[in-house]
């Protein structure tokens, strides 16, 4: 987040646009941008530009990642960790890790949700830094990602064999359908006109931030490999 923000500032982006791009890249894409915007009082044009480009870049990255998995020979666990650390949105993590198998999906989703948990503290920190901790009124559902509670509940139910075997297949089918639906919903949030009007500096800032995130994730994989 810190590095992504300063990349934007170094490229001449405004304070607000730099923060929106940084939060989108570092936490959870469009959801983080939408939650951050009212706290920092960002302009609607900045919000539209950052959301549109982040969504497009995230989808493109989902197509690239499986090639990386095949080319580098990463294990399912390593690929899941890398995907969870780099991909923007939870549905995109599911789509990116699916070709690598169930273990990659599970690991990637868990790592991604840990990143999503940072949304609340970041929003609160920005409000405090901006001197608007008491003035900014946000719905609690916008700051606290409630879907994580459902994830933890289902993970516990599965781990303790609370889900009957007969129900597992229908649940997996439903999960796949809802994942496709979520990806379609992300597409509905993109206005291609906003993407076309995004300045070159925003594009460069987002790409450099993503490159740094990938490099940092690679370092994490190396450290974990050495630890084992």
- How far apart (Å, rounded) are the C-alpha atoms in residues 194 and 64? 23
pLDDT recorded at residue 183: 60
Tokens of 154: 């289902």
Average pLDDT over residues 34-60: 81
pTM: 0.77
pLDDT recorded at residue 28: 81
CA distances from residue 22 to 15, 85, 148, 205 in whole angstroms, order as listed: 11, 14, 22, 9
Would you call 135 helix, strand, or coil by DSSP?
coil
Pick from 217, 216, 206, 197: which is nearest to 7 by CA? 206
Q: What is the pLDDT of residues 90-133, one digit of tens each?
A: 888 988 998 898 899 999 999 998 888 888 788 878 877 765 54
29's torsion region: left (phi>0), alpha (psi -120 to 50) or beta?
left
Q: Which residues have a Cβ under 8 Å from the Cβ of 212 and sit 6 or more positions away?
A: 3, 4, 7
Which of 44-53, 73-82, 117-126 holds the top average pLDDT? 73-82
Lowest mean pLDDT, pick from 17-21, 66-70, 210-214: 66-70
Q: Which residues have a Cβ under 8 Å from the Cβ of 203 and sit 6 or more positions away?
A: 53
Domain boundaries, the chain: 2-227
- How far apart (Å, rounded) are the C-alpha atoms in residues 46 and 212? 22
- How far apart (Å, rounded) are the C-alpha atoms in residues 14 and 18? 6
- How far apart (Å, rounded) are the C-alpha atoms in residues 40 and 89? 22
Rounded percentage of the chain residues whose pLDDT exceeds 90 = 21
């Amino acid at each position: 987040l810190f590095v992504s923000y300063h990349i934007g500032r170094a490229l001449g982006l405004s304070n607000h646009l730099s923060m929106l791009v940084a939060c989108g890249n570092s936490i959870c894409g469009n959801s983080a941008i939408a939650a951050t915007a009212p706290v920092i009082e960002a302009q609607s044009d900045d919000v539209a530009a950052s959301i549109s480009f982040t969504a497009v870049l995230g989808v493109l990255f989902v197509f690239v990642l499986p090639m990386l998995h095949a080319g580098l020979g990463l294990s399912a666990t390593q690929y899941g960790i890398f995907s969870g650390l780099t991909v923007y949105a939870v549905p995109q993590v599911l789509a990116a890790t699916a070709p690598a198998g169930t273990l990659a999906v599970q690991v990637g989703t868990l790592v991604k949700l840990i990143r999503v948990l940072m949304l609340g503290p970041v929003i609160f920190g920005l409000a405090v830094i901006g001197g608007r901790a008491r003035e900014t009124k946000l719905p609690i559902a916008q700051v606290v990602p409630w879907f994580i509670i459902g994830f933890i509940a289902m993970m516990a139910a599965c781990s303790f064999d609370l889900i009957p075997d007969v129900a597992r297949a229908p649940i997996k089918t439903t999960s796949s359908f809802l994942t496709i639906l979520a990806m379609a919903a992300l597409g509905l949030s993109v206005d291609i006109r906003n993407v076309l009007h995004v300045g070159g500096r925003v594009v460069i800032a987002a790409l450099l931030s993503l490159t740094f995130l990938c490099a940092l994730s690679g370092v994490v994989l190396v450290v974990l490999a050495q630890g084992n």
